[in-house]
Amino acid sequence: MKRRSFVKASLLTAASGAVIPQISKAAEALTKGDSEFYELRVYTLKNEHQQKLVEDYLKDAAIPALNKLGNKNIGVFTELKPLDQTKLYVLIPYNSWDDFLLVQNKLATDKIYQEAGAAYLNAPAAEPAYERIESSLLKAFAHMPKLQVPAKKLRIFELRRYEHASEAAGKKKLEMFNDAGEIDIFKRLGFNPVFFGETLIGPFRPNLIYMVTFDDMEAHDRHWKAFGSDPEWKKISTIPDYADAKLVSRITPTFLSPAAYSQI
Per-residue model confidence as pLDDT tens digits over 134-161? 999 999 999 999 999 999 899 999 999 9
- Of 30, 254, 40, 210, which is closest to residue 136 (Cα–Cα)? 40
Residues 2 and 125 in one domain: no
| 226 occurs within a structural domain | yes
Q: Which domain holds residue 15?
A: 1-32
Q: How many CB atoms lie within 10 A of CB 170?
A: 21
Residues 73 and 111 in one domain: yes
Residues 68 and 177 in one domain: yes
Residues 90 and 6 in one domain: no
Residue 210 bridge partners (DSSP): 160, 196
Residues 182 and 220 in one domain: yes
Residues 67 and 3 in one domain: no
Residues 59 and 151 in one domain: yes
CATH number at residue 79: 3.30.70.100
Residues 152 and 78 in one domain: yes
Residues 82 and 191 in one domain: yes
Over range 95-99, report the average pLDDT.
93
Residues 103 and 159 in one domain: yes
| Contact status, residue 201 vs residue 137, Cβ threshold 8 Å | yes
Sign of CA dihedral 144, 148, 153, 154: positive
| 116 occurs within a structural domain | yes
Query: Between the ranges 98-107, 221-230, 243-252, where is the mean pLDDT highest?
Result: 221-230
What's the pLDDT score for residue 202? 97
Residue 149 bridge partners (DSSP): none
pLDDT > 60? residue 248: yes
Residues 227 and 181 in one domain: yes
| 48 occurs within a structural domain | yes
What's the pLDDT score for residue 33? 52
| 4 occurs within a structural domain | yes
Q: Kindly report, residue by residue over 51-73, the tens digit of the pLDDT.
A: 999 999 999 999 999 999 999 99
Residues 192 and 252 in one domain: yes
Q: Is 52 left (phi over 0), alpha (psi -120 to 50) or beta?
A: alpha
Number of domains in the chain: 2
| 264 occurs within a structural domain | no
